[in-house]
Amino acid sequence: MTKITIKRPDDWHLHLRDGDMLGETVPATARCFKRAIVMPNLVPPVTTGALAMEYRSRITEAIPPGQSFEPLMTIFLTNETTPQTIAEAKALGVTAAKLYPAGATTNSDAAVSQLDYLQGVFEALAENKMPLLVHGEVTDHHIDIFDREKVFIESKLVPIVDRNPDLKVVLEHITTKEAAEFVLAASDRVAATITPQHLLLNRNDLLVGGVRPHNFCLPVLKRNTHQEALRKAVASKTHKIFLGTDSAPHEKSKKENACGCAGCYSAWSGIELYAQIFEDLGILDHLEAFASINGPKFYDLPINSDTITLEKSAWQIPKEIILPNGRPIVPFFAGETVAWRLVDGSK
């Protein structure tokens, strides 16, 4: 197969950032994705429906003329979030709520430190038909960073799911065998997103031959046995796992730093990398379901009617991209050759 046309995909986990950065991230996303779940971990975080709508306006202003793109907004849960916060956000058009354990990732220090206090919020999410999106890691210092997802699922997520059978839950950017097994064994109200980096790489790609800061993301890359488990789960063609790039831009200087930022900026190559992965797994026929159908069905949204076309044509990801502020950013897989190219992205 040298060409594939699929219904226009959506990105169900995306960081656009704010301010001048939107001039880079929004066009990069809108080139092929029709919708995207936009993460709320700004500084300060997007904690209410009103803040989400203000952020949405800034995003829509950055959409290039002639492009069709819809940001699906989320709010950032804190210890102060109430059921009223959820009801008001839903009324304003917010799609979902994001649960970050405090300190788990970029700009998450203000997030939840006491999950037990949020039971009323979880009930309100279920009542308002708003999915709970979970960054699934504990942050206890005595827990090894490579075990944090596994421990979170066992100690935190299982009780949340068991106590809230009507709540839809997305375990974001899964990285472990245990996460894949949990999602596949759970009810259809539990799903997961998976990133290109966690399918393509393992922790050797982060640490062997020197630290590779542009492969550093959170949750961190795991050993190759977990990578293979993720690839096997995707190859099963399950409807419970769908596209979420977790594209997360940082300026080059903030990545190549004594305390470098976590995140891989994959917006300009995400759909092409997924196509390459799916071809390698022998499931290119499943790309449309993964990228364009499973997510909308889980979120009870319409499947896009327009299409994109990818062609088997090698190209090289740029080594750097210059941001609107003139500073460079290093994209994910910078300088690497990709087998598939987007040749027709619907407007």
Does residue 317 belong to any structural domain of this protein? no
Q: Helices marked H in the chain — which ranges?
A: 22-30, 49-61, 83-92, 119-127, 148-152, 158-163, 177-185, 196-200, 204-207, 224-235, 252-255, 270-280, 287-288, 294-299
pTM, entire model: 0.96
**Residue 205 lies in domain:** 9-307
Does residue 292 belong to any structural domain of this protein? yes
Binding residues for Zn(2+): 13, 15, 98, 135, 173, 246
Binding residues for substrate: 15-17, 41, 135, 218, 250, 262
Using DSSP's 3-state secondary structure scheme, residue 314 falls into: strand
**pLDDT at position 250, please?**
96
Binding residues: 13, 15-17, 41, 98, 135, 173, 218, 246, 250, 262
Tally of domains in the chain: 1
Residue 347 has pLDDT above 60, yes or no: no
Does residue 334 belong to any structural domain of this protein? no
Does residue 42 belong to any structural domain of this protein? yes
**pLDDT at position 36, please?**
98
Residue 192 has pLDDT above 90, yes or no: yes
Mean pLDDT lowest among 86-95, 167-176, 254-263: 254-263
Confidence of residue 52 (pLDDT cuts 50, 70, 90): very high
Does residue 285 belong to any structural domain of this protein? yes
Does residue 340 belong to any structural domain of this protein? no
Does residue 279 belong to any structural domain of this protein? yes
Does residue 335 belong to any structural domain of this protein? no
Residues near 176 by Cβ (< 8 Å), separated by ≥ 6? 149, 150, 222, 226, 229, 230
Residues forming beta bridges with residue 3, ordered by sequence position: 311
**pLDDT at position 103, please?**
60
Q: Where residue 165 sits, what CATH number does that domain have?
A: 3.20.20.140
**pLDDT at position 326, please?**
94
From 20, 246, 306, 344, the catalytic residue: 246
pLDDT digits (tens, 9 = 90+) for 287-314: 999 999 999 999 999 999 999 999 999 9
Instruction: Round to whole Å and give the CA distance between 111 and 115.
Output: 10
Q: Please confirm, yes or no, whether 246 is among the known catalytic residues.
A: yes
